[in-house]
Structure 1
Amino acid sequence: MNANTVPRPATSVATPTRLRALDVFRGVTIFAMMLVNKQGAHDGGYAPLQHVPWHGATPTDWIFPFFLFMVGVALPFSIARRRQQGATNAELMRHAVSRAAILFVLGIFDKNFPFLTQTLDTFRIPGVLQRIAFCYLAGTALVLYTSRRTQALVASSLLVGYWGLLAFVPVPGLGVVPMTREFASQNWGAWLDQLTMGRHLGYGGHTWDANGLLSSLPSIVTLQAGIVAAWALEGGLTRAALSRLVWLGVAGVAAGWVWGGFQPLIGLAILGEPSVQGAWVFPINKMIWTSSYVLYTAGLAWLSLAACLWVLDRRPTPEAPAWARPFVYLGTNAITAYLVSGVASKLLHLWKVAGADGTSMSAWDWAQHHVFAPLIPSVPLASLVHSIAFALIWVAMCAWMYRRRIFVKL
């Protein structure tokens, strides 16, 4: 295909006015990420704010796939807008490569700051922003150079092929490795991580990584789910478009749960081992980003986007409702909020403060023990209030940036 050829996927997606719902959805996700990653207490927080150790998923485990999904939603619209400005496929791909490289470098900084325990042999390479960069680059190439039918075939092949590899193909020197936590350092993902990145990994004593190379392949499908949402909205925000998103969401959640072997449902969480066993079962698992997890979280993302669109964009008003504005502020400067809050949290954990008994603790722990815990007897609630207070600082920062029309773009 010629580099300047305009295939159907991009040109058929009209450029909309900015979707307020997408900004709010992104802002809610960033806010939730802060509550999860910056908990006041190191333990004793509410269960929905904890990652599942292995099989299953809590609302905490929805956050990362939601980010990837939203990148996918914005991608076709962004490409269509730039094409209207005269950009060719080659120019769009160069821009994507540049943007992905910046994201990757920022991710390396984020994962290794403040560089006190890492060496050149062990600094961590994989991470959240690194995976977003990889999936964004792959998604851009698919939208630019392939048809929708081909993209559907790629998504299906990645999900089924990943399951087949982990379930049936022997790892060199080990045989077929069970998909259990005990073998996390020996499965195909760990084998590939060790082969390509050595000790530049973040789990199991530098033997594997939850954001490693192999599990990044099904992550591409998470981003593609967002592209499908953009296709559903290409005719405008109609009742039919919202219905399509809802039905996609229901089908995704159901398919993921069935393929996961009917893992136990507890409140908003899926916890524990599959209820049924069989060769076809592929448990919902964020740590190795299983195909059932992709379908399950894609379904939740489609439903969440439909809900946000129904509430916020079905009858647009000049300004977002008061309750939604903090999330608009965060959503329009999401990368800035993510990086700056992460750096600040690490610095607060490094800054030592002397206690009344002469011992020292981090400034973060001092605030938990001397400010929030005395005011709130419940440990989980005190931890949550601490996290909310921290998140509100960055809401205020992003509100200041929003009012001055400062939007940091890559």
Structure 2
Amino acid sequence: MITETKGTHLHYRLSSIDAYRGLVMFLLLAEAFQLCKVAAAVPESAFWQFLCRQQSHAEWIGATLHDLIMPSFCFLVGVSLPFSIARRMAQGASMRDLWIHAVIRSFLLIGLGLANAALHARQMIVYPFDWILPQMGLAYPALFWLAFKPSRTAWISVVAILVVCWLVFALYPIPSPDFDYERVGVSQPWLKEYGLKGFEAHWQKNSNVAWAFDVWLLNLYPREKLFVGFPKGMTTLNFIPTLATMILGLISGRLLQSDRSSWSKLRWLVIAGALGLAGGWALSLTGLCPLVKAIWTPSWVLFSGGWCFLFLSSSFLLVDWWGYARLAFPFTVIGMNAIAAYLLGQIYPNVAFNALRRLVGRTPFTFLGDSYEPLIYGGVIVAGYWIVLYILYRRRIFLRL
């Protein structure tokens, strides 16, 4: 619960949070390296195959480093919230002011996400609330409300969300043997390799309860063709378990803001991380709840949340406790302007590639051979992104919602 009493020293920002956020955004920007193109050019290299795998999403069950970008981003929204509220309260904001800002931020997140989706599509035939920014926008008001409630309420909310989500999926009927998966965008080859069987089939791609909700909801809108499911199987209702991830971040933010010793904070984060990893992995291994990021299963909330706790604990240890802020500075520059970094990475990569090719040709980027040309191009582009963000940092220009 956010409180402010006489004599209480409130911290309004921690460098470790910016560094962690910067690392997450760097992984997003690093898509410009096109590691899978390099891996395809040198198929005999296990090293590049591994990096390609980590820069790709798991098809359905499982996780890669790339899969942890979205939960980390959501988790960090929760971590930052107690600091943001404390800063605004210190500036004299009333509860009404805080709520107005929260509602506006929610709508901006949804609007920005929809606009970004429209830029990636030829026509806006679907209102894709499955994207990360709309998901956070839908969940944000509830997260903000919980920021003023006791920690016990936050924990109860997490447990309730996970249990209810599991029950709703588990009680929804499994598709019949003659279900037409091709009609909903799931091919037979995909189904043979990645499809779920037995009890786990309750979480099958484009045939689960959240998918059924989207088929109903998104066909209420005017459209040329019937909506049958998102290509990657993600759903609008993902925002509910996403809220659980954000609440875990909120709990962590309160911990970091507290007067507990650094050792106590670090120990708590590490233990929470280990328990989250073990719990999520156990649920998946036993077949009770598959580990599926695309529909944000309860096991995914625990597993990805465990990684988020561990990432945050590592950043806290290195940056805030041991004082290695200079080493983290490249990430801090990105993390303090995460929205700008996100927009750079989402909107301009193809423009940057084409501009570079027209400006200087291929020769400067093939000195390691044609196989590594995408990597060199990507390195130059990411460096350009960072320079832009550094200029904004030096001029104290930060895009915030």
TM-score class, shorter: 0.7 to 0.9
Give 2:154's match in structure 1, choosing from 151, 155, 161: 151
In structure 2, what is the equivalent of residue 28 of structure 1? 23
Please give the secondary structure, in 1, of the residue aligned with 2:97: helix
Please give the secondary structure, in 2, of the residue aligned with 1:260: helix
Query: Structure 2 vs 1, CA of residues 41 and 307 (structure 1 numbering), >3 Å: closer, same or farther?
Result: closer
Q: Which amino acid aligns with 1:27?
A: G
Alignment check: 8 A CA contact 1:40 1:365 kept = no
Q: In 1, distance between residues paired with 2:320 and 2:29?
A: 26
In structure 2, what is the equivalent of residue 255 of structure 1? 279
Alignment check: 8 A CA contact 1:41 1:383 kept = no
Q: In 2, distance between residues paired with 1:226 and 1:14?
A: 21
| Runs (5+) with no aligned partner, structure 1 | 1-7, 262-275, 352-362
Q: In 1, distance between residues paired with 2:317 and 2:370?
A: 36
| 1:216 aligned onto 2:207 | no
Q: Which amino acid aligns with 2:66?
A: T
Alignment check: 8 A CA contact 2:174 2:202 kept = no
Query: Structure 2 vs 1, CA of residues 205 and 57 (structure 1 numbering), >3 Å: closer, same or farther?
Result: farther
Deviations 1:341-398 (A, max 9, x none): 321124457x6xxxxxxxxxxx68999x94587333484x554443333222111101
Q: In 2, distance between residues paired with 1:67 and 1:41?
A: 23
Alignment check: 8 A CA contact 2:127 2:218 kept = no
Q: In 1, distance between residues paired with 2:164 and 2:296?
A: 13
Q: CA deviation at 1:81?
A: 2.4
In structure 2, what is the equivalent of residue 246 of structure 1? 270
Please give the secondary structure, in 2, of the residue aligned with 1:207: coil
- Identity, in percent, stands at 27
Q: In 2, distance between residues paired with 1:168 and 1:228?
A: 30
Higher helix share: 2
Alignment check: 8 A CA contact 2:12 2:83 kept = no
Please give the secondary structure, in 2, of the residue aligned with 1:235: coil
Q: In 2, distance between residues paired with 1:37 and 1:162?
A: 35
In structure 2, what is the equivalent of residue 118 of structure 1? 123
In structure 2, what is the equivalent of residue 345 of structure 1? 349
Q: Which amino acid aligns with 1:135?
A: A
Q: In 2, distance between residues paired with 1:107 and 1:177?
A: 36
Deviates more, 1:234-243 or 1:397-406: 234-243
Q: In 2, distance between residues paired with 1:400 and 1:61?
A: 30
Alignment check: 8 A CA contact 2:341 2:385 kept = yes
Query: Structure 2 vs 1, CA of residues 258 and 210 (structure 1 numbering), >3 Å: closer, same or farther?
Result: same
Query: Structure 2 vs 1, CA of residues 346 and 118 (structure 1 numbering), >3 Å: closer, same or farther?
Result: farther
Q: CA deviation at 1:409?
A: 1.8
Q: CA deviation at 1:68?
A: 0.7
Query: Structure 2 vs 1, CA of residues 372 and 252 (structure 1 numbering), >3 Å: closer, same or farther?
Result: farther
Deviations 1:33-64 (A, max 9, x none): 12237626657362111111110001111111
| 1:302 aligned onto 2:309 | yes
Alignment check: 8 A CA contact 2:275 2:306 kept = yes
Query: How do residues 293-332 of structure 1 correspond to structure 2 at under 5 angstroms?
Result: 293-316=300-323, 320-321=325-326, 323-332=327-336
Q: CA deviation at 1:245?
A: 0.9
Q: In 2, distance between residues paired with 1:237 and 1:196?
A: 49
Q: In 2, distance between residues paired with 1:198 and 1:372?
A: 50
Q: CA deviation at 1:241?
A: 1.1
Please give the secondary structure, in 2, of the residue aligned with 1:83: helix
Deviations 1:214-258 (A, max 9, x none): 221111011111111122221155211111111111111111111
Query: Structure 2 vs 1, CA of residues 61 and 89 (structure 1 numbering), >3 Å: closer, same or farther?
Result: same
Q: CA deviation at 1:103?
A: 1.6
Q: In 1, distance between residues paired with 2:86 and 2:9?
A: 7
| Runs (5+) with no aligned partner, structure 2 | 41-47, 180-196
Q: CA deviation at 1:15?
A: 2.5
Give 1:91's match in structure 2, choosing from 93, 97, 107: 97
Q: In 1, distance between residues paired with 2:128 and 2:356?
A: 24
Q: CA deviation at 1:74?
A: 0.7
Q: Which amino acid aligns with 2:277?
A: V
Query: Structure 2 vs 1, CA of residues 391 and 124 (structure 1 numbering), >3 Å: closer, same or farther?
Result: same
Deviates more, 1:220-229 or 1:383-392: 383-392
Q: In 2, distance between residues paired with 1:172 and 1:56?
A: 22
Q: Which amino acid aligns with 2:390?
A: A
Q: Which amino acid aligns with 1:54?
A: W
Query: Structure 2 vs 1, CA of residues 341 and 371 (structure 1 numbering), >3 Å: closer, same or farther?
Result: farther
Q: Which amino acid aligns with 1:16?
A: H
| 1:197 aligned onto 2:189 | no
Query: Structure 2 vs 1, CA of residues 105 and 211 (structure 1 numbering), >3 Å: closer, same or farther?
Result: farther
In structure 2, what is the equivalent of residue 282 of structure 1? 289
Alignment check: 8 A CA contact 1:177 1:183 kept = no
Q: In 2, distance between residues paired with 1:215 and 1:68?
A: 12
Q: In 1, distance between residues paired with 2:249 and 2:18?
A: 14
Give the aligned CA root-mean-square deviation in angstroms: 3.4
In structure 1, what is the equivalent of residue 10 of structure 2? 15
Q: CA deviation at 1:182?
A: 9.9
In structure 1, what is the equivalent of residue 209 of structure 2? 188
